[in-house]
Amino acid sequence: MTAITVRVPAKVNLQLAVGPAREDGYHDLVNVFHAVSLFDEVTVTEGDPGAALDPVALTVGGDLGPRAADVPLDSGNLAARAAALLARETGAGTPVGIHLHKTIPVAGGMAGGSADAAATLVACDTLWRTGLARADLLALAARLGSDVPFPLVGGTAVGTGRGELLEPVPCGGRFHWVFALAEEGLSTAAVFGEYDRLRPGAPEPGLDADLMAALAAGDAAALGAALSNDLERAAFSLRPRLRGVLAVGREAGALGAIVSGSGPTCAFLAADEAGAAEVAAALEDSGRCGRTVRAHGDVPGATLL
């Protein structure tokens, strides 16, 4: 095999409960991840045997939107770091080229960079025939970042610890989503810092039983009512106009509206495809967001093509 392609999904957070800051700088989380049908495809190709593995040769294409400059093309890219980590840990690495074909919005709070890293782990594991067990790949993913393990699993899962400890949960139906994308990004570190400022005595996070019941039943109305994000207030503090974006979607009939993760993307749950089209049209007409994309969930995690 000279080239391996892996497709990997974006995520939306259905619940993001955030505890107080830990001594290591992270926060304990209860994070309900839901994989949606916006996909990147990562292709790893055998390189020149005489070339160095680190840095790898990395190229990017696809729908990059206005944030293309936010995708690093050097060894700082999380996908390149994933290849280098797998090579160091297994001793089996050979030079590779990595091409990222992106559909997941760049810098949109939907874990596109983390998804690319997860896909690179799977692609390089296959190309190099390292044969790592899923648990070993998940452990490497967690070393790269808190959001990297979930794209390997996909579906819907509860993440605890700093979000990297995953427990898949049942999803009883197909849910229809609209995502309102912003022209400007929002720093995850800044949002967490603002969260700590606004809520210094945050309690330990807990899982929402109503949300779990809605997921299992496939009840979109109940799920929309149960969506929650502890970082939303901090995101509003740093980017007040996000409140207006959510209001437009709700007025257009969304069953639920939420800032996705640390933002700035806003997620809207619709009753069906027709409802999603109406919400997307209202958001586009409002001029309050850069653009919208639609998707459904949940969908599988990293998949070899």
Whether 40 sits among the annotated catalytic residues: the reply is: no
Instruction: Show the tokens assigned to 176.
Output: 């229809």
Spot the catalytic one: 116, 147, 230, 298: 147
Q: Single out the residue of 288, 24, 5, 303 nearest to residue 146, CA to CA.
A: 24
**Residue 285 CB neighbour total at 10 angstroms:** 10
Alpha-carbon torsion 200, 242, 171, 213, what sign?
A: positive
How far separated are the first and last CA of the chain, in Å rounded?
A: 13
Spot the catalytic one: 11, 40, 125, 230: 11
Contact 266, 260 (CB under 8 A): yes
Q: Single out the residue of 254, 256, 225, 259 nearest to residue 240, CA to CA.
A: 259
**Residue 173 CB neighbour total at 10 angstroms:** 15
In the chain, which ranges are continuous DSSP H helix?
Answer: 78-90, 112-127, 134-144, 149-153, 188-198, 209-217, 220-226, 232-238, 242-251, 273-286
Q: Which residues contact 214 (CB under 8 A, 6 or more apart)?
A: 220, 222, 223, 225, 226
Contact 250, 275 (CB under 8 A): no
Whether 102 sits among the annotated catalytic residues: the reply is: no
Catalytic residue ranges: 11, 147
